[in-house]
Every structure is written in structure tokens, then in C-alpha cells.
């Protein structure tokens, strides 16, 4: 087997097209022995495929190879090069068998194996997304070479094994699975271990839930809500589409150390297991879980039944699932306010991504290879795409929208399709020519800026200079003269300037209900008026729109941090939606206060607003919980924090659970008011996986050189830790006020980042680059080092993309500091 220090090849779109033209994959048969040892497993794959004859390659990332045979003839394992094994196929049927030993992974990709610190039990799950499948089995790893799979698994005798198709244990530790429906490689999964299992059934669909044994009681507590939402969502999707869920069982597995929120694997959806709540949570947390559940269910049609042909159409998966997940959650579950949650929790993710130098179109996003495509799973593909689909639905009508979707599912059932295929289905269903819509909204990057020009009596539309487009916006406008409540107007902006007259002294909020996709920022007159208006604005969705406008203005250095703090002081004490607290206060604490001229004073103002809300919130409410979370995270009073930690001085209705205990301990660590011994003792009390992650966050937050070195060793890979601990170490290392301790690591970051390709890959490679970025080093010198690294020849693509985005963020923070907080 050829060896090299170079990273694995990333599949090019042109290569995928050539392989798709050459091959038709008929089936996969995969045998996995998970019982041999804790570090590795045997994987034997038989792929049957037809070929027109000629040279191609199969994707394979093993630890070592036992045997490879193509049509009965041995292939030299040394031909394997950076994840590719060349094949010389014959015209007609071919059979490839690969017998290999694979490594269990701990980065949330491939076949991930973890040990639950609570009880020492081992758990495994498969995450095949993008380019991880070849580290589990040999395959032609691209979305348009679908095939059915048959799995045979040997596991320890006390393990449960669940996969994409129904399976059963035929003898001790031996599991046989039925042949699946045709799947893309990135959908293939197994969930194996001594999982706690709950079974149910709805409308002929076998349902299942599973989680680690140590959180079995928490799953029991949440099961009724999870299963109720599952039933409600299935009923609604069946009503909307008229096409039944086609993949047999529907199992929802909550698995440890999962990178994403969830993955839509047909028959066996995987979720990050913090979504099984082990501490008390806010209503916003529950809505987030509900929309995630509905999102993954939408994927069973948008993505699984019909799959994009290539990653440049990944929006066909994510934008639709995002839109349908929010819509169905709002329409049929107890969380009718899901769109308000979406505005608070998701809108800024998409808007900020769309303003970065790395912005890209929603569709046709330039995914020349799989690695580039992975970077485009961002707020544009999810939030922006969802918003545009919502606009399209309004424009063509729900009946046409759904008829077109149904035609798309029917025409391409179990196959692959493109954006053009989908829009052809909509046009067949009765929509007018949609080419202008797709060109301006989906194939052109960047948001228009909509701004009120009071002197001209017009709303001005400015497209991004690098991405000109002629977009038509229909939106509502909130107007409030002094002493009056809001009135709502509706306008259509269809040119550079659209007449709109507003009183010179009135507050004017463009698009408060987020009817369109655009960058809107309140002008100075409106910002001044909002201090009095926002506290008495009763429409929660409008409040979300107002806060998003303020956050956008801050992102673009168009509002003074002091003005934001005045809004916090006025509005937060009377807020009644914990989503507003959960979305706004971490931003205010972590960014607005950090960039204020007087940081301690700013943090104190935020803290007092949180305490005022805590006094006003009903006892035992999730609003009270959210207020306390933010109060703890903004406190600079160690005595108060310790009193809370001991249970003294707590408001009625609150109790200190694992989440609140560690939130307080992390804050004490930031303040330097605890030490390693105290943190170690706290971990001994409850050595769960969640506690270990929070312990990591606390230790990395300590204001001493040893703590920073401890965190840095995780970045370089000197200390190998699972992904959640890696994230906690990176995000906690760079604390405002600790710059003298972290300054030595600024230069080290730029020197050592390129070498991290030797210790991690995939999502975690780029994520770690973001987590450990020196975001508190607000100096032109740091910007110079960023720009030099971006220009470095040979820098891995996802690392370059991350540094580009983080450089943009650093530039924007410097702009706020220089404009408003310079001494």
C-alpha cells in the first residue's frame, strides 16, 4: 500500500461525472466484525457493478488491506494511493471484493467509537457523510451512484445493532440486515452498542429511539414528546406529499460526540445526544430539537428519496429540510412559534455567512470537489435557502409548490436530480417561467441592502458590488411615530429606489417579519426610538426582526456598542420569550461587551438587565431559567456565583443541576476564582460525558499559562481528545481580558495550523481552525498574519476558507473597536 503524508484526494466533480458515465452500481454487501478489538474492525465489502469497460477507481481508506479481488483476480494493495484504488474494469458485470482492517475514529466521522465515562460502556455509530464512507467500507463514494446495501455485522453479545434496513440478531452477536432501498454512500450508517432502546409504531411504521444506558432515564422522560412529534410530523408530511415514507423502520438514535445536529440516514437517523436533555432546558432548546427532528424527517423525501446529483445542488437537501422542518413544526406540533425561534436563532447565521468573502450562491455553489462542498454546508445553504423557498412558496402559491414537489419525488423516485429538474416540475405544476427567479435569487450570491433614505422619501436597494442582481422584494415595514404603536405597511421594492415616505421622527423597521432575504439595519432615528418602543412591542416575530437589524448593524460597525447596551437595558428586563434571551444575550456578553470602550462597565449593564429579568420572570418558568443562565455568564461577583452554586440565594423555582453547576464553574474559572483541584473535585461528583466537556471548558478558561498550554496541546494533537472536548478547549482558550496569556499563541496559531492536517480531517479539521482562532487578538499585526497565511501556497482548502472567514470577523471587530471604543 502506497504511503504518503499528503491528505486524501478530494473527489472532483469532473471525476464523479466520468465515473457515473462509466458505471452502474448494482449492490453492496458489507460484512463488519466489530467484536475483534477496541481500536480496529474488519470490513469485507463486495460491490457488484456494471461497467462500459475501462479504468476507474474505488474509494478506500483502510488501516491495512488483507485482500482485494476484481472479478476473481488479485489486485496489488500497494496501488492504493491517498484513498484511491485504481481498477481496470471489463465491459459488463464486475465484482469487486475488498477485505480490509479499518480504524475506529473519535472525530465524529466514519465509524466513531467512544467510551461513556459514566459507566465504561463502548458505543459505535457510522457517519458516512461527504467523504467518510470509504473509512468504513470500499465504495464508489459519490451521491449519484446509488445502490442497495446488505449488511452482516458481528458485535459483542450485549450490543444492539441498528442500520438503514430492518435487522435481527440471528445468533449471539451476529446480526443480519435486509437489503436496503437504493442509497447514496453518504447515507449509510450503523448504530451499535449496548444502547437503551424504546420501540413504538405509528401508521404501520415501526418507530425506535435509542441512547446510551447512562442517559436512559432522560430518554424515558423525553420519549413521549419525541414520539408524539414524530407521529405528528409523519402525518403532516404524508398529507402534504401524498407519498408514504419509503424506507421501512424509522429509528432515531441519539449518539455521543456527533459533529452535526443530526444526519438523515434513511431508516436510522442519528442525532447528537445532548438533545436528550439531562438538565432542565429552555423552551427555545425544545423548539430547536423539534425543528431538528422535523428537518431530518423532511430529508426522507428531500434528499433521501430524491438525492442531488452532485454537491452543487446540496441546497435541494438542506434548504428544503430547513423550510419544511420549521413549517411543519409550527403547523402541527405544540411549538407554533417555531418561525419566531428560527428568526432569533438562525437568521444571523445565514446573513453573516452571506456577507463573508466566502459567500456563494444557494444553488450552483461552485462545489468543484467534495472538500469544497463540505465547506458550503453553512448558513447560506440552510437559512438563506429556506428563506428564499418561503418567498417562492408565497409567490407561486402553496398548491403549485406542493404539486411540483410531488412531481419531483415521483419522477425521480430513488434516483438523483438537479435544480433544473425541480424547477421544471414547478413550472409543469403551474408556476410561470422561473428562470429570472432562479438567476437572481439562487444563482447569485450576497444579500441586497435595503435602507430607508428619509430625505429622498424612498427605500434604496443596493446589491453587493461583486454580485449584481435585480431582485424584487415584497416586505412589510413597521412604522411608529413618537408616542404611538407600530403600524404595518407593505411595499414592493423593484428598483434601485422605491418611493416610501415616513415621518422624519418616526421609527422605521424594514422587513421586521423577515418576508424577504436582505440586509436591513435601523437608522439613527430608529435606534433612538427603539429604546422606548422595543419594550412594548408585543409581536415576538417583530422583536426578533428588530434585534436582527441591530445585530446586523453591529456586525457592520454601524451602531455604537453603547446604543446596543441601552436597548439591552430597556428591553431584556421585560422580555417574555426565552429565545430572545438565548439568542441575544450570548452575543451581547461575548461580543458587544468585549468591544465596548469600558468592558467591565458594559458587562455590568448586561448583568443588571439579566437580574431585572430574573426578578420579573415567573418562578419555575423557562424564561426564568434563561435569565439565570445569562446572569451567571455575565456575573463578575465570585461571592454571588458561589452562593448560587451552593444553592443559597437562588430565586424560587430554580435548582442547580449539571448544566447550571458547570455554567457557574466555568464563569468562576474565567474570573480566576477557582482552580484545577476544585474543578477536578466537581468532575468526580458527576463524571458524565457532558461534565467532562464542561470541565475542559473550565480548565481552558483559567487565567494562567498552564491552562493555555493545556488547551493548546489539544489543538496540535499532542493530546488527542474527542471532538466535543476539542471544541470546548478552543472556544474557551481565547477569553477577553486574558490577552497577555494568549498572546504567545497568536503567532503559533499561524505557524502550526497548516500542520493540523496530519492529526485530523473532514469537518473537525476546519472546525478546530475556527475554534482555536485568536479572535481576541484585535490588532493590525494579527490581521497581517491572517493575510499572509491565506496566501500561503499549499494551505489545505478548508483551512484557507476558515481563516478567510475568521479574518473577516476580526476585521469587523476591529472596525467596531476603532470607530467606537478607541481611547
Look at domain 306-442 and name its CATH class.
mainly alpha
Round to whole Å and give the CA distance between 530 and 568.
Answer: 11
Round to whole Å and give the CA distance between 11 and 84.
Answer: 10
Q: Where are the domains of the chain?
A: 1-194, 306-442, 737-823
Residue 467 φ then ψ, to 5°: -135, 70
Burial label for 72, CB within 10 Å (0-12, 13-18, 19+), is: exposed
**Count of CA atoms in the C-beta half-sphere (13 A) of 155:** 25
CATH architecture of 1-194: Sandwich (2.60)
Cell for 205? 411504521
- Please name the residue that has the C-alpha cell 465504561: 120
With 50 as the cut, is the pLDDT of residue 3 above it? Answer: no
pLDDT in tens, 460-517: 999 999 999 999 999 999 999 998 999 999 999 999 999 999 988 999 999 999 999 9
Q: How confident is the model at residue 355 (pLDDT cuts 50, 70, 90)?
A: very high
Q: Is 718 part of the annotated catalytic residue set? A: no
Which of the following is catalytic: 264, 296, 322, 575?
A: 296
Residue percentage of the chain with pLDDT more than 90: 94
Round to whole Å and give the CA distance between 138 and 157.
Answer: 26
Cell for 192? 451499535
Alpha-helical segments (H) within 463-598: 524-533, 540-555, 561-571, 578-587
- pLDDT given at position 2: 43
With 70 as the cut, is the pLDDT of residue 238 above it? Answer: yes
Cβ-based neighbours of 27, under 8 Å, separated by 6 or more: 47, 48, 147, 148, 149, 150, 179
Round to whole Å and give the CA distance between 547 and 559.
Answer: 12
With 90 as the cut, is the pLDDT of residue 315 above it? Answer: no
- Please name the residue that has the C-alpha cell 409543469: 428
Round to whole Å and give the CA distance between 816 and 559.
Answer: 8
Instruction: Order across the sheet with 149-154: list the strands.
Output: 73-74, 64-70, 84-103, 40-59, 23-33, 149-154, 174-177, 167-171
Cβ-based neighbours of 782, under 8 Å, separated by 6 or more: 746, 774, 810
Cβ-based neighbours of 818, under 8 Å, separated by 6 or more: none
Do the beta carbons of residue 22 and residue 54 sit within 8 Å?
yes
Q: How confident is the model at residue 407 (pLDDT cuts 50, 70, 90)?
A: very high
Distance in angstroms between the alpha carbons of the first and the last residue of the chain: 61
- pLDDT given at position 4: 41
Secondary structure class of 243 (helix, strand, coil): coil
With 50 as the cut, is the pLDDT of residue 358 above it? Answer: yes
* Mean pLDDT taken over the chain: 96
Cβ-based neighbours of 337, under 8 Å, separated by 6 or more: 287, 330, 540, 577, 579
Round to whole Å and give the CA distance between 22 and 87.
Answer: 12
pLDDT in tens, 274-314: 999 999 999 999 999 999 999 999 999 999 999 999 988 88
- pLDDT given at position 8: 87
User: Residue 285: how many CB atoms within 10 A of its CB?
Assistant: 21
Round to whole Å and give the CA distance between 606 and 508.
Answer: 26
With 60 as the cut, is the pLDDT of residue 673 above it? Answer: yes
Cell for 223? 420519549
Residue percentage of the chain with pLDDT more than 70: 99
Amino acid at each position: 500500500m502506497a504511503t504518503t503524508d499528503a491528505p486524501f484526494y478530494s473527489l472532483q466533480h469532473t471525476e464523479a461525472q466520468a465515473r457515473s458515465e462509466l458505471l452502474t452500481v448494482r449492490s453492496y454487501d458489507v460484512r463488519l466484525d466489530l467484536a475483534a478489538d477496541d481500536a480496529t474492525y474488519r470490513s469485507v465489502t463486495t460491490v457488484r457493478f456494471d461497467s462500459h469497460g475501462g479504468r476507474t477507481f474505488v474509494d478506500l481508506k483502510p488501516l491495512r488491506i488483507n485482500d482485494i479481488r476484481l472479478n476473481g483476480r488479485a489486485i496489488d494493495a500497494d496501488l492504493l494511493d491517498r484513498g484511491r484504488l485504481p481498477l481496470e474494469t471489463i465491459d459488463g458485470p464486475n465484482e469487486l471484493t475488498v477485505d480490509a482492517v479499518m480504524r475506529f475514529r473519535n472525530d465524529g466521522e466514519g465509524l466513531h467509537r467512544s467510551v461513556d465515562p459514566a459507566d465504561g460502556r463502548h458505543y459505535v455509530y457510522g457517519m458516512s457523510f461527504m467523504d467518510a464512507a470509504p473509512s468504513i467500507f470500499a465504495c464508489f463514494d459519490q451521491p449519484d451512484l446509488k445502490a442497495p446495501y446488505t449488511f452482516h455485522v458481528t458485535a459483542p453479545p450485549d450490543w444492539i445493532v441498528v442500520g438503514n434496513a430492518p435487522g435481527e440478531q440471528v445468533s449471539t452477536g451476529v446480526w443480519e440486515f435486509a437489503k436496503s432501498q437504493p442509497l447514496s454512500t453518504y447515507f449509510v450508517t450503523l448504530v451499535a452498542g449496548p444502547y437503551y432502546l424504546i420501540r413504538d409504531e405509528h401508521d404501520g411504521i415501526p418507530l425506535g429511539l435509542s441512547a446510551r444506558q447512562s442517559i436512559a432515564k432522560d430518554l424515558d422522560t423525553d420519549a413521549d414528546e419525541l414520539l408524539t412529534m414524530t407521529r405528528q410530523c409523519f402525518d403532516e408530511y404524508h398529507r402534504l406529499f401524498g407519498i408514504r415514507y419509503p424506507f421501512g423502520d424509522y429509528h432515531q438514535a441519539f449518539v455521543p460526540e456527533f459533529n452535526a445536529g443530526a444526519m438523515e440516514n434513511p431508516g436510522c437517523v442519528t442525532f447528537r445526544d445532548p438533545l436528550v436533555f439531562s438538565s432542565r432546558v429552555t423552551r427555545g432548546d425544545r423548539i430547536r430539537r423539534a425543528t431538528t427532528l422535523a428537518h431530518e424527517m423532511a430529508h426522507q423525501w428531500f434528499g433521501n428519496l430524491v438525492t442531488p446529483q452532485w454537491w452543487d445542488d446540496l441546497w435541494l437537501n438542506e434548504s428544503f429540510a430547513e423550510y419544511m422542518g420549521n413549517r411543519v413544526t409550527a403547523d402541527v406540533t405544540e411549538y407554533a412559534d417555531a418561525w419566531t425561534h428560527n428568526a432569533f436563532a438562525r437568521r444571523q447565521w445565514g446573513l453573516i455567512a452571506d456577507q463573508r468573502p466566502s459567500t456563494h450562491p444557494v444553488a450552483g455553489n461552485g462545489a468543484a470537489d467534495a472538500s469544497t462542498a463540505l465547506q458550503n454546508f453553512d448558513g447560506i445553504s440552510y437559512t438563506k435557502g429556506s428563506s428564499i423557498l418561503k418567498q417562492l412558496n408565497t409567490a407561486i402559491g402553496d398548491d403549485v409548490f406542493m404539486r411540483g414537489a410531488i412531481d419531483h419525488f415521483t419522477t425521480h423516485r430513488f434516483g438523483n436530480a438537479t435544480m433544473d429538474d425541480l424547477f421544471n416540475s414547478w413550472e409543469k405544476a403551474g408556476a410561470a417561467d422561473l428562470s429570472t427567479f432562479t438567476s437572481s435569487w439562487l444563482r447569485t450570491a450576497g444579500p441586497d441592502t435595503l435602507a430607508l433614505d428619509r430625505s429622498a422619501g424612498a427605500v434604496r436597494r443596493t446589491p453587493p458590488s461583486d454580485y449584481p442582481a435585480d431582485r424584487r422584494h415584497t416586505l412589510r415595514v413597521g412604522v411608529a411615530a413618537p408616542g404611538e404603536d407600530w403600524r404595518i405597511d407593505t411595499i414592493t421594492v423593484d428598483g434601485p429606489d422605491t418611493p416610501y415616505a415616513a415621518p422624519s421622527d418616526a421609527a422605521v423597521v424594514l422587513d421586521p417579519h423577515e418576508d424577504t432575504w436582505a440586509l436591513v439595519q435601523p437608522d439613527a432615528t430608529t435606534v433612538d426610538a427603539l429604546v422606548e418602543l422595543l419594550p412594548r412591542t408585543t409581536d415576538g416575530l417583530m422583536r426578533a426582526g428588530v434585534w436582527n437589524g441591530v445585530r446586523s448593524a453591529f456586525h457592520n460597525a454601524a451602531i455604537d456598542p453603547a446604543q446596543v447596551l441601552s436597548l439591552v437595558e430597556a428591553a431584556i428586563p421585560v422580555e417574555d420569550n426565552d429565545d430572545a434571551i438565548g439568542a441575544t444575550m450570548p452575543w451581547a456578553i461575548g461580543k458587544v461587551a468585549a468591544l465596548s470602550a469600558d468592558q467591565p462597565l458594559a458587562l455590568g449593564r448586561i448583568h443588571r438587565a439579566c437580574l431585572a429579568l430574573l426578578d420579573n420572570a415567573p418562578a419555575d418558568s423557562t424564561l426564568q431559567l434563561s435569565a439565570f443562565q445569562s446572569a451567571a455568564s455575565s456575573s463578575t461577583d465570585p461571592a454571588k456565583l458561589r452562593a448560587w452554586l451552593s444553592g443559597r440565594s437562588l430565586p424560587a423555582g430554580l435548582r442547580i443541576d449539571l448544566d447550571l453547576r458547570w455554567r457557574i464553574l466555568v464563569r468562576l474559572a474565567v474570573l480566576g476564582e477557582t482552580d484545577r483541584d476544585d474543578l477536578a473535585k466537581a468532575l468526580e461528583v458527576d463524571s458524565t460525558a457532558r461534565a467532562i466537556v464542561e470541565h475542559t471548558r473550565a480548565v481552558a478558561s483559567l487565567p494562567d499559562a498552564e491552562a493555555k498550554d493545556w488547551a493548546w496541546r489539544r489543538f496540535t494533537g499532542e493530546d488527542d481528545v474527542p471532538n466535543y472536548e476539542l471544541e470546548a478547549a478552543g472556544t474557551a482558550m481565547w477569553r477577553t481580558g486574558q490577552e497577555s496569556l494568549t498572546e504567545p499563541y497568536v503567532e503559533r496559531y499561524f505557524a502550526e495550523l497548516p500542520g493540523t492536517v496530519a492529526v485530523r480531517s473532514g469537518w473537525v479539521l476546519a472546525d478546530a481552525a475556527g475554534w482555536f482562532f485568536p479572535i481576541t487578538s484585535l490588532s493590525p499585526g494579527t490581521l497581517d498574519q491572517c493575510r499572509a497565511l491565506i496566501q500561503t501556497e499549499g494551505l489545505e482548502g478548508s483551512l484557507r476558507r476558515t481563516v478567510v472567514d475568521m479574518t473577516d470577523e476580526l476585521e469587523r471587530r476591529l472596525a467596531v473597536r476603532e470607530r467606537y471604543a478607541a481611547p
